Chains A and B, each alone.
Chain A
């Protein structure tokens, strides 16, 4: 195979085209409510679901019903949703501790995800994992990893198994700008490249690792994708506030990986609107910067764009909101009403 790897390939400069609604029921929804929605509306539904889920998490953290560390995904919805929308069921998704968005985009049951955050027996990890450690292996959602960069080699290993088994399935691994300063980042990139693993490295560059802005902790500026040239891994930069741009860039990368081209890298420029965790007072950054990014809030701008372009109606958007609001309220209720794990659970699942 020709190895004319293009370094730092940017997604086509053409604006991503909005796909036409496939269905045209008046609401854009089919009978089941959400499963049959058109592409664009479903992207919106997922982003709005994540947003509302996160807001509910914050609320219930204040009430003391969710505890430990809680890292919200608010502001970054377009990246996870856009990227994961391009995957198949037999692909794997791997995330860090800011994992609710990826989990929901991958289709984790909203009730069980919320129950996990409440530490309940009905949670995805039976209440043992918590916010930072969500898993749903049946859905190919392989965590939820709270040691910075720890998920990178795990994802490489999942991809190795996919390659080993002669499938054209792939693994997508999400990680933050901060994690690139771990040695594992380099080690995993190199490994994936020399073995041509079917992995999509998806960097969510939200400009900060906890209280450290990239400029303060990284030599070489705020762009990471050019560095992939070192490994011969094709890399693209994408606007992480534009769900369609993310989707388009991901589609291209996914197609290449399935084609046997080896690892691909996407850097989405994005932003978390809140603190690192809910305990973070954000003394290290000005509210100006936050406001600027908030103006590009994908959960607001995307539906507005759909309406403006005649691809959705205000009623359709309102209907999705109503359905999602109810689903989130139901999830909170489910979590509240669910039983605590039995104490006998302590010794289960230590060994296989």
Chain B
């Protein structure tokens, strides 16, 4: 299978949609002439023209909101944010409008829109540019939220997100844009809401998604080296969450550590933890261990930022603390 980077996978998904569906258009800041802050849409303006590739002013609230309107009228907008941190500026439109419209209208109006945003800390952008609000939006009814960790998942999820009739947030781990992986030429999709058991094992389950898969895979390698059989689950979708897959795995391994690259408090893994203790209590040999980044604003200094970020050592420490492995 050919190997491509995650950025290319996203690009391919977008390109396909632009080619095949005239209702699809993209808008965002500097996505056209500049080529996109992370170059995902580089070359698109030339290829598809201004009608399909719309550079916007720095008006997140207005262009995201306009995306909702366009979607309500039957188009399929894809709206890019330069950073997940900037979605905050448009949260009112996302939550009060995009997510609520269908329900409030008794099912009359749908919002088939994809919101794309690079997410995550790790490159010293400081407190205002490093946040992961996909965990907040994942708790909003009416929203779907996906977060790929591989090029394969990025393309499969992008295809599904664009076809979906709901607002879907595609959280793109900024540190993974250059990550390589195999992507087949044959068409495939990944169902939103389905987790992926990326490694099968019998002693312990590690659950994460997005950039969190890095420390989890690293920790899994270390544990395997010690003779521990590790099952790894990549959520891929934060809303809905595939609890069925997680519960099935925990019933098999009886041990679980859930890992978030975002801040530990709240968020997706708090949900997973709560549901697990309710649904799989008697199968557990110990507490559901929860790992996440330190609950402080993101510091600029490299050493501090690395310390705040979830890493493999944090995962291993939780495995040891919870289960003595």
A210 at the interface (CB under 8 A from B): yes
The answer to whether A68 and B126 touch across the interface, beta carbons within 8 angstroms, is yes
The answer to whether B303 and A68 touch across the interface, beta carbons within 8 angstroms, is no
Residues of chain A lying within 8 A (CB to CB) of residue B294: 346-347
Residues of chain B lying within 8 A (CB to CB) of residue A284: 33-34
The answer to whether A216 and B123 touch across the interface, beta carbons within 8 angstroms, is no
Residue on B with the closest CB to A214?
Answer: B57
Partner-contacting stretch, out of A6-14, A99-107, A175-183, A288-296: A175-183
A119 at the interface (CB under 8 A from B): yes
Q: Please, how many residues of chain B have a CB less than 8 angstroms from a CB on the other chain?
A: 36
B125 at the interface (CB under 8 A from A): yes
Partner of B126, one of A130, A179, A216, A346: A130
A226 at the interface (CB under 8 A from B): no
B62 at the interface (CB under 8 A from A): yes
How far does the alpha carbon of A182 sit from the alpha carbon of B29 in the complex, in Å? Answer: 12
Residues of chain B lying within 8 A (CB to CB) of residue A68: 123-126, 129, 300
A304 to chain B, nearest CB (A): 35
The answer to whether B29 and A212 touch across the interface, beta carbons within 8 angstroms, is yes
The answer to whether B34 and A346 touch across the interface, beta carbons within 8 angstroms, is no
Partner-contacting stretch, out of A79-87, A193-201, A227-235, A337-345: A337-345
How far does the alpha carbon of A212 sit from the alpha carbon of B31 in the complex, in Å? Answer: 10
Question: Given A211-B30, A212-B57, A343–B126 Cβ distance below 8 Å?
Answer: no
The answer to whether B300 and A129 touch across the interface, beta carbons within 8 angstroms, is yes
Residues of chain A lying within 8 A (CB to CB) of residue B198: none
A346 to chain B, nearest CB (A): 6
Residue on A with the closest CB to B294?
Answer: A346
The answer to whether A130 and B124 touch across the interface, beta carbons within 8 angstroms, is yes
The answer to whether A132 and B299 touch across the interface, beta carbons within 8 angstroms, is no
B283 at the interface (CB under 8 A from A): no
How far does the alpha carbon of A120 sit from the alpha carbon of B300 in the complex, in Å? Answer: 10
Residues of chain A lying within 8 A (CB to CB) of residue B296: 346-347, 350
Residues of chain B lying within 8 A (CB to CB) of residue A181: 57-59
The answer to whether A212 and B127 touch across the interface, beta carbons within 8 angstroms, is no
How far does the alpha carbon of A217 sit from the alpha carbon of B59 in the complex, in Å? Answer: 10
Question: Given A119-B302, A211-B30, A216-B33, A183–B128 Cβ distance below 8 Å?
Answer: no
B323 at the interface (CB under 8 A from A): no
B130 to chain A, nearest CB (A): 9
CB proximity to A under 8 Å, residues B68-96:
85-86, 88-89
B62 to chain A, nearest CB (A): 7
A17 at the interface (CB under 8 A from B): no
Residue on B with the closest CB to A181?
Answer: B57
New contact pairs (17) apart from A340-B301, A347-B296, CB-CB < 8 Å? A67-B123, A68-B125, A68-B129, A127-B299, A128-B299, A128-B300, A130-B125, A130-B126, A130-B300, A132-B125, A210-B37, A211-B30, A211-B33, A217-B58, A283-B34, A341-B303, A346-B308
CB-defined A-B contacts under 8 Å, sample of 10:
A68-B123, A68-B126, A132-B126, A145-B128, A182-B59, A182-B61, A212-B34, A343-B307, A345-B304, A346-B294
Q: List the interface of chain A (C-beta within 8 A of B).
A: 67-69, 119-120, 125, 127-130, 132-133, 145-150, 178-179, 181-183, 209-212, 216-218, 283-284, 340-341, 343, 345-347, 350
Q: List the interface of chain B (C-beta within 8 A of A).
A: 29-30, 33-35, 37, 55-62, 85-86, 88-89, 123-129, 294, 296-297, 299-304, 307-308
